[in-house]
Structure 1
Amino acid sequence: MKNYLADSNGYYGEFGGAYVPEILHKCVEDLQKTYLTVLESEEFKKEYNQLLRDYVGRPSPLYLAKRLSERYGCKIYLKREDLNHTGSHKINNAIGQILLARHIGKTRIIAETGAGQHGVATATVCALMNMECIVYMGKTDVERQHINVEKMKMLGATVIPVTSGNMTLKDATNEAIRDWCCNPSDTFYIIGSVVGPHPYPDMVSRLQSVISEEIKKQLKEQEGRENPDYLVACVGGGSNAAGTIYHYVNNEETKIVLAEAGGKGIDTKFTAATIYLGKTGIIHGSRTYVIQNEDGQIEEPYSISAGLDYPGIGPIHANLAAQKRASILPVNDDEAIEAAYELTRLEGIIPALESAHAIAALNKINFKSTDVVVLTVSGRGDKDIEVYLEHNSIHKNQN
């Protein structure tokens, strides 16, 4: 049986590894040596699980979406990560990493954020644990995710707008790494997705794997079986997807569908469909697929969703695509908007723009009536209301 999870060196097939500047070598190496010991210790598990239960509000519900199921002619369950404290799956990882940071004696926390959900989650756990918090966020994203910026400030974080590149997630990550290089002794970098140098992709996958752990139990209760026919999730860096598939990835009976940001179309320059268009390269410390030009320079990605416009992809997903273990479906901006309205009108759930890409993927799959589908709603749509309203004209003639 194939193993699609990380090996001991942090590789997923040919993807992964740790390509870091010399100054960070010791930080990363120390983390590699300690993360599994901490994550697997009884003390960590007890505190982590208690916080997930009493603070985050887990388990998140697995909801049978009856009207959506009728629309697509199969049984669709929604994994409701949007109901977590702070409004997305990001908190699962932030709590785990800050407990690890505290364990290894770091006192200053930095993070990058695109849509702001990871920034809010990090600022939240820093308030909880009384730690200094600096969040790097592209100036473009600061403007389009204004509410999340105000939340972070209210929680006591310092938000630093980044003005390099096209001022989005990639650029925020560059600045966070630069900060880490300057302050390696006291600073812990809480990375928000399954990207970056080993051990981050594996560590974040493990912390998010609570999602698939719960799906197995909940599906058993509701359907009498642990394994769905399909798992569907959106991918930018890919942490909600990694969490959704973690306990299923080596069981090839369950099909995996990943929806990435097609932007204005994969045949335009305005896209973030990394798996579809990318070539193998190195970005932010890991070997993966990267959107790049003939000279190997990273191309600026584009998506209507601030959380999906990243020019790389988590190495776990690059490998799933290379091994044909997952189907990758690019979803364009207008399809995502359409899907968000569909879910809202059919089920009374307003999804984050990121999650709307996963909903839109349903339209691209031929389901059988007996199929059981689990789709992760990774976040709630409060932060995207302004974008939805701007595009409301398409829908004003609909009932």
Structure 2
Amino acid sequence: MKFPDTEGYFGQFGGNHYPPEVWPALEELTSTYRLLRYTPDFQHDLETVRVGLQGRPTPVHFLKRTTAEVGGARIYVKREDLNHTGAHKINHCVGFALLARKMGKRKLIAETGAGQHGVALAAAAAYFGLECEIHMGEVDMVKQGSNVGRMRLLGARVVAANAGQSALKEASDAAFSAYVEQRDHALYAIGSAIGPHPFPMIVRDFQSVVGHEARGQFLSLNEGVLPDHVVACLAGGSNAMGMYSGFLDDPGVALHAVEPLGTSDETGKHAATLSFGTLGTLHGALSIVLQQEDGTPSQVSSVASGLVYPGVGPEIAMLHEAGRLKVSAISDEEAISTFFRIAKSEGIIPALESSHALAFAIKLAERSPSSESILVNLSGRGDKDVDFVLNHHWDEDDS
């Protein structure tokens, strides 16, 4: 929590690189958040909605059958998939909605990839009586049709982004443009720990409930002993920073960031930013970016819509530069195989995003002694992915 500094930097990463016309709105958000975040009234309202609407706390659960099948280290999961709307995203969405109401804003604007952030924000907006506008890549709208329907059912206006790859990066561009036009009456509820100051700080703070809960729960389950490994999938970094927040100051706990390798690292059909990215600016912040020689973001690929992003948040970049993160990558094929495996072995259908983290945890468990333990952020459930997976990756061997 020492970071960011007063200019919004995490070491050399972060800052505010949005156009000057937006600075007053961002400064208003920063000052309001700093004023309210630790006040008893704000914390009481936040806790009320976390318990009543979200269903927090979510449990830590031992994957008994998978651990027995794999051998080696014990695998536990933080069940963020059990949140209302199906993922960790609602942790910061209710926070943004509460901030908007305190600031006198009547509308929330955001982007979404897999649709989980969009559904969570639509639910939060409905709860607080706010308008909601969600921008989503046209490709993702087809792939995640059930989530589009849920957003609309909850009262949100869903706008198709059809430039470039028609995916998460383009949805973010469109959402920002809409925010610039409507900033007097709307608040941009960004979907991850990315963007200009103060967004990475705000999203991290609201998501830190995941790591702090998980830490206490794991200690209770394991007689006061911390996990040896903490694992999260990585794109922008909201679920990762939420999970890491509970363990950053524990040098004996290895923090693993699992990136999407897509179909190939050789052809560039991946979204493994820390593995292959370089210093650059994306969506208003200096960070690590997958980019072409001219500095424009590269086209990226993953079977998980929520991981199709060519950058990472600035705090993730700082932790990586400091050597605090162990970075690995999981292919589409490995993630899909794990999607089926966890469903059959544990009765849990994980999101394809979370399946990347679980696939890595299984590989890690296989090469680790049985005395060690692994805690995975199961960041979302896979209801949204079922039709896509069955239509494109199901065969008789899976029945």
Q: TM-score interval w.r.t. the shorter chain?
A: over 0.9
CA distance in 2: counterparts of 1:341 and 1:4, whole angstroms:
41
1:91 aligns to what? Answer: 90
Q: Which amino acid aligns with 2:377?
A: T
Post-superposition Cα deviations, 1:8-51, rounded to whole Å, max 9, x if no partner, equal: 43222211111111110101112222212211111110011111
Q: Is the 8 A contact 1:350 1:381 kept in 2?
A: yes
CA distance in 1: counterparts of 2:198 and 2:80, whole angstroms:
24
CA distance in 1: counterparts of 2:397 and 2:172, whole angstroms:
41
Task: Map residues 51-200 of structure 1 onto 2, 5 A cutoff.
Answer: 51-70=49-68, 71-200=70-199
Q: Which amino acid aligns with 1:174?
A: D
- Cα–Cα, structure 1 residues 236 and 255, in superposed 2: closer, same or farther, change >3 Å? same
2:243 aligns to what? Answer: 244
Give me the identity figure in percent: 39
1:375 aligns to what? Answer: 376
CA distance in 1: counterparts of 2:7 and 2:222, whole angstroms:
38
- Cα–Cα, structure 1 residues 392 and 298, in superposed 2: closer, same or farther, change >3 Å? closer
2:231 aligns to what? Answer: 232
Q: Which amino acid aligns with 1:372?
A: S
RMSD between aligned alpha carbons? 1.4
CA distance in 2: counterparts of 1:116 and 1:343, whole angstroms:
22
- Cα–Cα, structure 1 residues 373 and 5, in superposed 2: closer, same or farther, change >3 Å? farther
Q: Which amino acid aligns with 2:132?
A: C
Between 1:132-141 and 1:339-348, the stretch displaced more is 339-348
Pick one of 39, 43, 46 that aligns with 2:44. 46
Q: Is the 8 A contact 1:4 1:316 kept in 2?
A: no
2:9 aligns to what? Answer: 11
CA distance in 2: counterparts of 1:97 and 1:391, whole angstroms:
36
2:29 aligns to what? Answer: 31
Q: Which amino acid aligns with 1:265?
A: S
2:222 aligns to what? Answer: 223
CA distance in 2: counterparts of 1:343 and 1:351, whole angstroms:
7
CA distance in 2: counterparts of 1:303 and 1:142, whole angstroms:
15
Q: Is the 8 A contact 2:76 2:376 kept in 1?
A: yes
Shift of residue 84 of structure 1?
0.7
CA distance in 1: counterparts of 2:231 and 2:273, whole angstroms:
17
2:348 aligns to what? Answer: 349
Post-superposition Cα deviations, 1:305-357, rounded to whole Å, max 9, x if no partner, equal: 11000011111111222222111111110010011111112111110000000
Give the TM-score, by structure 1 length: 0.96
Q: Which amino acid aligns with 1:25?
A: W
CA distance in 1: counterparts of 2:215 and 2:313, whole angstroms:
23
2:267 aligns to what? Answer: 268
Q: Is the 8 A contact 1:72 1:362 kept in 2?
A: no
CA distance in 2: counterparts of 1:360 and 1:211, whole angstroms:
21
- The 3-state SS of whatever aligns with 2:85 is coil
- Cα–Cα, structure 1 residues 298 and 382, in superposed 2: closer, same or farther, change >3 Å? same
Structure 2: any 5+ residue segments left out of the alignment? none
- The 3-state SS of whatever aligns with 1:23 is helix
Task: Map residues 279-294 of structure 1 onto 2, 5 A cutoff.
Answer: 279-294=278-293
CA distance in 2: counterparts of 1:362 and 1:248, whole angstroms:
17
Give the TM-score, by structure 2 length: 0.96
Task: Map residues 288-307 of structure 1 onto 2, 5 A cutoff.
Answer: 288-307=287-306
- The 3-state SS of whatever aligns with 2:384 is helix
Report how many residues are paired.
396
